[in-house]
Amino acid sequence: MMSKLIAATSTFEGPAIQWFKISPILALLGGALLLILVGSLTPQWKRGWYATASVVTATTAAVLTGVLWNQMSDDKSSTLVGGAISFDHFSLFATFAICVAVVLVSLVANDYLVREGEDGPEVYGLMLTAAIGGVVMASANDLLVLFLGLETLSLSFYLLTASNRRRMQSGEAGLKYFILGGFASAFFLYGVALLFGASGTTNLQSMATVFSTEVNISGSNGLLLAGIALMLVGFAFKVSLVPFHVWTPDVYQGAPTPVTALMGSVGKVAAFSALIRVFMIALPSRIDDWRPAILVLALLTLVVGSLLAVVQTDVKRMLAYSSISHAGFILVGLEAAAHIGHADSHLGISSAMGYLFIYSILVIGTFAVVSVVAGAGDAATSLDAFKGLGKKRPVLALGMTVLLLAQAGVPLTSGFVAKFGIIRAAVSVESYALAVAAMLAAVIAAFLYLRIMVSMWLSDPADDAPVVVSKSVGLAITLAVVATLLIGILPGLLLGVSQTIGF
Amino acid sequence: MNALIVVPTSTWYLLLSAVLFTIGTVGVLVRRNPLVMFMCIELMLNAVNLTFVTLGRRLNDINGQAIVFFVLVVAAAEVVVGLGIIVAIMRRRSGITVDDLAELKG
């Protein structure tokens, strides 16, 4: 028996691995290992060096992604590592968005950690592992690989959320996130198990083949529907769709502000990419079963997210609810993409991905300003803390105004491009109810952003506590504002790229 | 006599794992001690493992059992992270329940 096994292993051939095509993941992994291993064995590095290592790693990964993107134009999308990872424009775009987000968040985190006196390699290492998880999720072609990516991302986020040991709120948020995140992961995994039972595979493409050829196998149908439902619940928790959003405000408020920015950017990009890929690739033959669910979730998320955002008094909570409302917009894109067979259904995926990219830059810029204003201990995050920012720090307040206007979707900012793309996609597939709901939600949410702006410009400062803007966070905010205006004025820059995304 | 011996089919195991998963779910929702809630999540994950093994057996597919190893590793990693967070909080306050964790609300 044993000798048979050994004989079997000696003839075992692993799948061919095209190393260069997974180089963005490898680059991130290298950076993460360097920071965690070398960082913990060597004495404290000079100020800013940990952040520099993280920025260099993520930039390298982004550049590699760009190179791969250029090569893509001549060869078609394929799968790597024995069908576990897919290699297409969709996954490369998501990878690029995640790398850009990590670069910006590293700059913000540098300022935060130095200010809190907690500069060290752990936070950056965990950010990079979160990015690896995100990239794996966004490019997984197998539900099991997707689950592993999801857990890599989530476990890093739990630790990052609880990483400030001096603040009780950080630990509380970490525990809440951990319990609810683990709960959601279990639902997701149960969904994977049932889909495996219904199809006999976890590979997305094989699953699609099975489901399209054997439409109504008795017995498997129940497994399939329950599997779709459970997986959707798991995803809905992760991307915080109403009514699975209850953890979001608490976690966004309690987590260190740069970590909140990372959750709003990397977390959203990864989870939404995975959601779109699974439903569009593995389950297109069951669209009549899941599209209504997506429609209802999108409606609820848009309306409830915007309404609850308006009544908050803490800026981080406001932005958490606003991120829920933004998630509703992205879901409208998925709903539009789900009108398979309609001539314009391809607009759905590209507009959703464009929205994710634009939103992740906006959310990092906004939380960078919140981090600066909150000051030592992340203490001052109430709306009052923003009073008179226009008098104290006019340039900073101007940057924040641009970012908030963009989140509200004002023309000449990137937010308008994003919202226009989504609503156009919804209208062109005749999904009018959602398009109207999305516009209404945008109007309601605009009130919230105006509240912050009014507080910044029209009130006198409540105190004369100085607002310190260090170089690194200043650079992050500047980059975010420039990108916001650039995409807003020249939308072709992004649309030319995002239009090619599809399956 | 033989008529009384019932051979359990794979459906029995699927039902058992569904029941275990439900117990875990209800446990997370009604219990207030973070450690117990955490144990309930582990119960949910193990219920899924049982589902995977049963389905692997039913489909005659070894992948069903191979997946369980991945899930076990993930669950172990989750224990490390979760207990780390719980210990970090318990050090500051003893005898905590999730109801005491109410600094964040609005």
- Nearest CA of chain B to the CA of A31: how many Å? 21
Partnered with residue A80 across adjacent β-strands are: A85
C-alpha–C-alpha distance, residues A203 and A215, integer Å = 18
Cβ A178–B67 below 8 Å, yes or no? Answer: no
Give the confidence band of A83 by pLDDT, cuts at 50, 70, 90.
Answer: confident
How high is the pLDDT of residue A167?
84
| Sign of the torsion formed by the C-alpha atoms of B65, B69, B75 and B79 | positive
> B31-45, pLDDT tens digit by residue?
988 899 999 999 999
Residue B1 has pLDDT above 60, yes or no: no
How high is the pLDDT of residue A133?
97
C-alpha–C-alpha distance, residues A286 and A288, integer Å = 6
How high is the pLDDT of residue A220?
63
Local structure of residue A45 (DSSP, 8 states)? P
Residue A86 DSSP SS3? strand
Give the confidence band of B10 by pLDDT, cuts at 50, 70, 90.
Answer: confident
Nearest to A169 among B55, B88, B103 (CB): B103
Residue A87 has pLDDT above 70, yes or no: yes
State the pairing for strand pair A78-80/A85-87. antiparallel
Residue from A186, A451, A435, A433 nearest A321 by CA: A451
Give the confidence band of B4 by pLDDT, cuts at 50, 70, 90.
Answer: confident
> A425-463, pLDDT tens digit by residue?
999 999 999 999 999 999 999 999 999 999 999 988 877
How high is the pLDDT of residue B7?
81
Give the confidence band of B106 by pLDDT, cuts at 50, 70, 90.
Answer: low
Give the confidence band of A218 by pLDDT, cuts at 50, 70, 90.
Answer: low
C-alpha–C-alpha distance, residues A90 and A135, integer Å = 11
> A190-200, pLDDT tens digit by residue?
999 999 999 88
- Nearest CA of chain A to the CA of B60: how many Å? 9
Q: What is the DSSP string of A246-288?
A: THHHHHHHHS-HHHHHHIIIIIHHHHHHHHHHIIIII-GGGHH
How high is the pLDDT of residue B92?
77
Cβ B104–A254 below 8 Å, yes or no? Answer: yes
Is the separation of the CB atoms in A427 and A336 below 8 Å? no
Q: Is A155 on the interface with B (CB under 8 A)?
A: yes
How high is the pLDDT of residue A498?
84
- Nearest CA of chain A to the CA of B3: how many Å? 26
| Other residues' Cβ atoms within 10 Å of the Cβ of residue A165 | 14
- pTM given for the model: 0.94
> A147-188, pLDDT tens digit by residue?
999 999 999 999 999 998 888 889 899 999 999 999 999 999
C-alpha–C-alpha distance, residues A411 and A453, integer Å = 17
> A326-385, pLDDT tens digit by residue?
999 999 999 999 998 888 888 899 999 999 999 999 999 999 999 999 988 888 888 888
Give the confidence band of A421 by pLDDT, cuts at 50, 70, 90.
Answer: very high
How high is the pLDDT of residue A2?
66
Q: What is the mean pLDDT of chain A?
A: 91
Q: Name the residue of chain B whose CA is nearest to A317's CA.
A: B106
Cβ B103–A168 below 8 Å, yes or no? Answer: yes
What long-range pairs does A406-411 form, CB within 8 A, spacing at least 24? A406/A358, A406/A362, A406/A484, A406/A488, A407/A322, A407/A326, A407/A362, A407/A366, A407/A445, A407/A449, A408/A442, A408/A445, A408/A446, A408/A449, A408/A450, A409/A442, A409/A446, A411/A488
How high is the pLDDT of residue B25?
96
Give the confidence band of B52 by pLDDT, cuts at 50, 70, 90.
Answer: very high
Tell me whether residue A428 is exposed, middle or buried, using C-beta atoms within 10 angstroms of its C-beta: 0 to 12, 13 to 18, 19 or more. Answer: middle
> A3-52, pLDDT tens digit by residue?
776 776 677 778 888 889 899 999 999 999 999 999 989 998 988 899 99
Is the separation of the CB atoms in A456 and A423 below 8 Å? no
User: Among A145-154, A463-472, B57-66, whose mean pLDDT is lowest?
Assistant: A463-472
* A201: chain B residues, CB-CB within 8 Å: 63
CA angle A59, A63, A66 (to 5 degrees): 140
Nearest to A173 among B38, B47, B104 (CB): B104
How high is the pLDDT of residue A31?
96
Residue percentage of chain A with pLDDT more than 70: 97
Cβ A190–B88 below 8 Å, yes or no? Answer: no
> A108-123, pLDDT tens digit by residue?
999 999 998 888 899 9
Q: Name the residue of chain A whose CA is nearest to B46's CA.
A: A186
Higher-confidence position of A77 and A280: A280
| Architecture of the B9-95 domain | Orthogonal Bundle (1.10)
Span A287-302, average pLDDT: 93
Partnered with residue A85 across adjacent β-strands are: A80, A140
- Which residues, in sequence order, are CB contacts of A476 under 8 Å at separation 6+? A104, A105, A107, A108, A364, A365, A368
Instruction: Kindly provide the residue ranges of all beta strands, DSSP E only, lying in A343-419, ordered along the sequence.
Output: none
Distance of CA A324 to the CA centre of its chain: 12
How high is the pLDDT of residue B105?
66
How high is the pLDDT of residue A119?
85
| Other residues' Cβ atoms within 10 Å of the Cβ of residue A246 | 13
* B14: chain A residues, CB-CB within 8 Å: 197
B contact test, residue of A175, A217, A247 with most B CBs within 10 A: A175
Token representation of residue A451 = 């509240």
